[in-house]
């Protein structure tokens, strides 16, 4: 045991919540094989405090924060879930940490320089997210960004004691494994700025697209499009799906072993990106210009899409054309070997 009462070599983790729904914690609790607490223990991560998982409350919980600021307790990883509430008028008084009389945003500003690593868990904590939508009356922002604008609460030049900017484990909510995997990388000393993309998201999941592994990919290839949410076809052309642009591995690292938004019949809304909460159109609507979707697949030039889409549609097999606008498989795949007999 070290002088401050923590196991030697253990990485300490403090988890705070601010302006959000707590959905990232609920998602994280669904971690499996192994479960969350087993994963943290196996990685040598000691949870100092979490508002939903810890027994400590009131004066005892506040004492943990005070001991960190006084240098009595080391802080390796500081996690924030939910956006930073700066209102009204930049005072932060819309969200006071109970029993302290101080805004949570002040606690965050004071604690962050004491942490070796600072992680924003969820798109609210990273960019402002849902809490910043609708005119943003609470002046919500992320730790490192205010929407797409860099800076956020901690400013452009913030670096943790390990020399890293805020790690944005973005998502709404985050996949439990995105959080656990990042924390374990940190605990192993195997996480650096090279492991973050341009938005500060861990590349372990952000180097992928939601499109990868999508069960509707065959429909996408032939531009066989769904017209209603219950249809089986590709939802990019008419129903607002951004899976070809969204950086995440939802369809290859499934939720609870079997699910994703697309597998549940709903279009991807690109929830790992800043500003996803206000696309300026209905989530299930694809904005178009001259009949061409404005949000084209990542890396695809518009000219290529315009040239290839009609060819794909012309080559669409009858099976896909009919199944695309049905809520169940009407035409099964044929068997060429059977046809020859």
Whether pTM > 0.85 for this model: the answer is yes
- Report which of 54, 73, 182 is spatially closest to residue 126, judged by C-alpha positions: 182
Under-70 pLDDT residues of the chain: 1-8, 337-341
Using DSSP's 3-state secondary structure scheme, residue 127 falls into: helix
Q: What is the CA radius of gyration of the chain?
A: 23
All domains in the chain, ordered by first residue: 11-206 (3.40.50.700), 208-328 (4.10.480.10)
Contacts of 118 (CB under 8 A, 6+ apart): 77, 78, 79, 80, 112, 143, 154, 158, 160, 164, 166, 167
The predicted pLDDT at position 299 comes to 79
Q: Residue 339: what pLDDT? A: 65
CB 176 within 8 A of CB 28: yes
Q: Is 325 exposed, middle or buried (0-12, 13-18, 19+ CB in 10 A)?
A: middle
Residue pair 84/143 in contact (Cβ under 8 Å)? The answer is yes
Q: Given this model, what pLDDT does residue 198 score?
A: 96
Q: Please, what is the Cα angle at 152 between 204 and 198, to 5 degrees? A: 30
Contact in structure between 197 and 249 (CB atoms under 8 Å) = no
Give start and end residues of each alpha helix (H) in 76-216: 104-111, 123-127, 176-187, 203-206
Q: What is the pLDDT of residue 341?
A: 58
Place of tokens 């017209």: 227
């Amino acid at each position: 045991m070290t002088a401050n009462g923590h196991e030697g070599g253990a990485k300490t983790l403090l988890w705070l919540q601010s302006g959000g729904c707590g959905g990232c914690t609920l998602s994280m609790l669904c971690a499996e094989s192994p479960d969350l607490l087993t994963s943290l223990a196996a990685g040598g991560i000691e949870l100092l405090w979490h508002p939903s998982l810890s027994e400590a409350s009131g004066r005892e919980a506040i004492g943990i924060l005070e001991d960190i600021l006084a240098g009595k307790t080391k802080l390796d990883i500081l996690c924030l879930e939910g956006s930073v509430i700066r209102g009204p008028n930049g005072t932060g008084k819309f969200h006071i940490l109970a029993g302290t009389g101080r805004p949570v945003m002040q606690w965050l500003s004071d604690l962050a320089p004491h942490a070796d690593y600072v992680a924003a868990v969820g798109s609210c904590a990273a960019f402002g997210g849902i809490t910043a939508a609708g005119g943003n009356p609470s002046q919500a922002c992320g730790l490192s960004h205010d929407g797409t604008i860099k800076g956020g609460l901690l400013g452009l030049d913030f670096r943790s004691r390990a020399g890293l900017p805020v790690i944005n484990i973005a998502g709404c909510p985050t996949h439990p494994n995105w959080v656990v995997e990042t924390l374990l990388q940190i605990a192993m000393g195997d996480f650096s700025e090279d492991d973050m993309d341009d938005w500060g998201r861990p590349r372990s999941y952000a180097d992928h697209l939601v499109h990868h592994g999508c069960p509707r990919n065959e429909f996408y290839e032939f531009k066989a499009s769904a017209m209603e949410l219950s249809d089986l076809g590709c939802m990019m052309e008419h129903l607002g799906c951004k899976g070809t642009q969204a950086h995440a591995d939802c369809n290859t690292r499934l939720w609870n072993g079997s699910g994703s938004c697309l597998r549940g019949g709903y279009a991807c809304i690109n929830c790992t990106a800043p500003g996803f909460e206000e696309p300026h159109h209905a989530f299930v609507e694809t904005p178009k210009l001259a009949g061409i979707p404005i949000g084209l697949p990542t890396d695809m030039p518009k000219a290529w899409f315009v040239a290839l889409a009609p060819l794909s549609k012309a080559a669409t097999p009858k099976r896909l054309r009919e199944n695309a606008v049905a809520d169940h498989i009407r035409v099964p795949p044929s068997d060429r070997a059977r046809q020859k007999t």
